[in-house]
Amino acid sequence: MKVTFPHMGNLWLGLKTALQELGHEVIVPPKPSKRTLTLGSQYSPEFACLPLKINLGCFLEAIEQGADTIIMAGGVGPCRFGYYGAVQKRILEDLGYDVDFLIFDPPQGRWREFINDLKRVGNGRPLYKIFSALLFGIKKLEIMDDLEKLGHKIKAREINKGDTMHILEKTLHRLDDASSYKEIKRIKKEAIEELLSVPRKNIDPIRVAVTGEIFVVLEPFVNMEVENELGKMDVEVERTLYITDWVKEHLVPSLRGIRKHKLLEEMAKPYLGHFVGGDGQLSVASAVIYARKGFQGMVHLMPFTCMPEIIAQSILPRVSKDLSFPVLTLVFDEHTGKAGVLTRLEAFVDLLRRKREVVRV
């Protein structure tokens, strides 16, 4: 069984680690590229959202490399993502590929199937082994998330643009090779030291929140490296969602998670009184939260035709007006060009700078 899975930011690091711990042969699909997108959009429904197309492209590229089993998360709506697996399976079947899909839906009373699938992933190992493998994978992701959070602060201030990026990429690969908790702890420590020794300017950067649909936010190839580009403009970015938040929210329900959720609902309520699937409510809540935190603005990322984010996009102008908090919505599809995104980002950052100066004067 050669296992593969779709890309979403650094997710591969955690999944690869966990699956290898369980003794699987893992085929990580090549990083999403123009080719992935072309392959994916060729066989996807025209108005499917970008994540589905990239997913499918990833699968096709992984199959080329010999993958025969695909692991995928499911869902019960109302976001389309929950039905991806079923549709992608059908598309691959119609194309004549013979691959197995392991789709993990929330069990909802169908525990036997869920456990069966889990056992297949477990490769004959006991349940606690599966969990410890998962935890190790999540730990690596957590470290990467922490480093990226720190990285956002450094990126805005670094003198040689690209230093931070370089360290983060190097660390990602070191984490990939690491096989013990001790090792990853050391890697984290070293990476933090390295990040802190990056030569920096002494400035007070503009602060911008980046939010939106999780896949587009987390996948730099898709969002034209928005975070990096903002960093290059000396802007400090704070991302509203991280991969470990997502994984934890879906795997280990915690009191903290529930509280956070309640807070988000509370913040969004005056504008959006109900969840709308995906990350739509988060996007609206983020505008309120980051306006209060004193950020200068927010960049809202979404795939073309994304249903929950279209709702957020329709509501954000009102939030923005009420709180006098600039929000830039960027919509991504297979035809999005980097130059266009850059121009809009530059104009947006200019606007934020002017606005701050005016307020200060």
Residues engaged in binding other proteins (CB under 8 A): 45-49, 74-80, 82-83, 85-87, 89-91, 94, 103, 105, 271-278, 280, 304-308, 310-311, 313-315, 317-319, 331
Q: How far apart are the first and last CA of the chain?
A: 65
In 3-state terms, what secondary structure has residue 331?
strand
Least distance in angstroms from the C-beta of 100 to other proteins = 14
78/257 with CB nearer other proteins? 78
> How many Cα atoms within 13 Å fall on the side-chain side of residue 30?
13
Residues constituting the chain: 361
Least distance in angstroms from the C-beta of 288 to other proteins = 13
**Residue 107 — φ and ψ, nearest 5°?**
-55, -45
161/262 with CB nearer other proteins? 262
80/139 with CB nearer other proteins? 80
- Cα angle vertex 314, ends 84, 352, to 5°? 110
In 3-state terms, what secondary structure has residue 226?
helix
206/315 with CB nearer other proteins? 315
Asked if 361 and 333 count as a contact pair (C-beta separation under 8 A), the reply is: no
16/89 with CB nearer other proteins? 89
Least distance in angstroms from the C-beta of 51 to other proteins = 12
Rounded to whole angstroms, what are the CA distances from 265 to 55, 179, 210, 212? 30, 39, 19, 16
Q: Which of 97, 117, 96 is nearest to 106 (CA)?
A: 117
Least distance in angstroms from the C-beta of 187 to other proteins = 40
Q: Which of 51, 21, 1 is nearest to 139 (CA)?
A: 21
The type of residue at 256 is R
23/45 with CB nearer other proteins? 45
Least distance in angstroms from the C-beta of 193 to other proteins = 45
Least distance in angstroms from the C-beta of 278 to other proteins = 7
Beta-carbon contacts of 238 under 8 Å, excluding residues fewer than 6 positions away, are 149, 152, 207, 208, 209, 210, 290, 295
Distance between CA atoms of residues 327 and 179, nearest Å: 42
26/222 with CB nearer other proteins? 222
Distance between CA atoms of residues 5 and 99, nearest Å: 12
Beta-carbon contacts of 283 under 8 Å, excluding residues fewer than 6 positions away, are 211, 212, 213, 300, 302, 309, 312, 316
30/74 with CB nearer other proteins? 74
Least distance in angstroms from the C-beta of 203 to other proteins = 36
Least distance in angstroms from the C-beta of 298 to other proteins = 16
231/277 with CB nearer other proteins? 277
Least distance in angstroms from the C-beta of 49 to other proteins = 7
Rounded to whole angstroms, what are the CA distances from 194 to 108, 151, 168, 190, 241? 46, 11, 10, 6, 25
Asked if 27 and 20 count as a contact pair (C-beta separation under 8 A), the reply is: no
